[in-house]
Chains A and B, each alone.
Chain A
Amino acid sequence: MKKSCIISHYCQIRDHAVIGDDETLYERCGADLSDFFTGIYQHFDISYPKFYKMDNLCKLGFLSVELLLMDRNIQQRYAGHEVGIILMNASSSLDNDRHHQQTILDRSAYFPSPAVFVYTLPNIVIGEICIRHKFTGEGTFFVRERFDPLFLFNYVNQLFYQDVVQCCIAGWVETLGDYYDSTVYLIEKTGKPDAGITIFEPDTIKHIFAKEK
């Protein structure tokens, strides 16, 4: 009964670089976070103007998954409800919460921004990704002090085991102020990984997360 799942691909955005399956896909030093994100968006010729409206957490999650899924034909291979998204981070939506706070600080110029407020929840990043790729499967967002490979493994494994999903995008998406760090994994029951087979297990999750460029 216990069949192993595989990590068919991963994508990492940290330290001024985008890494996909051990390869540096894009690098740009010296840019601030906002320019860096926009740089990635433009470099990969992504056409999704809504990107510019997103808060930084959504931008980071969106870009990570965008590059994770580029040319993978996920939508052809799975029905929308078969794809789940499980993400976690440490700061929840604090980065954008602070932004929202700014808009309600000044009593004499009191203009709470609805467009900012809608991003004051961490799971909106899951929503944005689902809207983009038409995924309607299970999704949840965990707030944990640090990345927890075992927790992630157990949770995602349960989803597979109980046939809730056939394919799962999972990982860590954290941003606060100038800091950003993401690692997202594409986990599948079956499928052909491009380079070698990475079994989905706590050690491999951990190994990929700990990689440095």
Chain B
Amino acid sequence: MEQLIQKLKEEIIEALNLSEMKPADIDEKAPLFVDGLGLDSIDALELTVLLEKKYGLKINTAEEGKKILHSVNSMAEFITANKKS
């Protein structure tokens, strides 16, 4: 889990072009949206693409998306629970 969280942070920084941030700057427990990293709706879509591209996981509805993309932790939990391997 620890490893996955670290990897996710790196992937988020790359996917969202958060060039001025380091993985350590992202609090895995804090909400990703609203204040926090200053992310917007396009970033949310981009994270949806990230989950599909790197983990083969699809988010189907906006409500589902809100829960899964809440924080790095919630993303990691979603990946662990659903990853096919």
Contact = CB atoms under 8 A, between A and B. Distances in A.
Given A49-B19, A53-B16, A115 B46 contact: yes
A112 B46 CA distance: 9
A151 B38 CA distance: 39
B49 A113 contact: yes
A114 B17 contact: no
Interface residues of A, number: 12
B42 interface: yes
B27 interface: no
Contact of A49 (B18, B49, B52): B18
Most buried by A among B17, B43, B52: B17
Contact of B20 (A49, A109, A113, A115): A49
A118 interface: yes
A52 B42 contact: no
Interface in B37-58: 38, 42-43, 45-46, 49, 52-53
Contacts of A118: 42
Contact of B43 (A38, A112, A115): A115
A111 interface: yes
A198 to B, nearest CB: 37
A53 B39 CA distance: 11
A149 to B, nearest CB: 35
Interface string B45-73: 11001001100000000000000000000
A49 B38 contact: yes
A210 B80 CA distance: 59
Interface in B1-59: 16-20, 38, 42-43, 45-46, 49, 52-53
Contacts of B19: 38, 49, 52
Contacts of B38: 49-50
A52 B49 contact: no
Nearest to A109: B53
A111 B42 contact: no
Nearest to B45: A114
B18 A114 contact: no
Among all A-B residue pairs, the 8 with the closest Cβ atoms? A114-B45, A52-B19, A52-B17, A115-B46, A53-B17, A111-B53, A111-B49, A115-B42
Interface of A: 38, 49-50, 52-53, 109, 111-115, 118
Interface of B: 16-20, 38, 42-43, 45-46, 49, 52-53
12 contacts: A49-B20, A49-B38, A52-B20, A53-B17, A109-B53, A111-B49, A112-B49, A114-B42, A114-B49, A115-B45, A115-B46, A118-B42
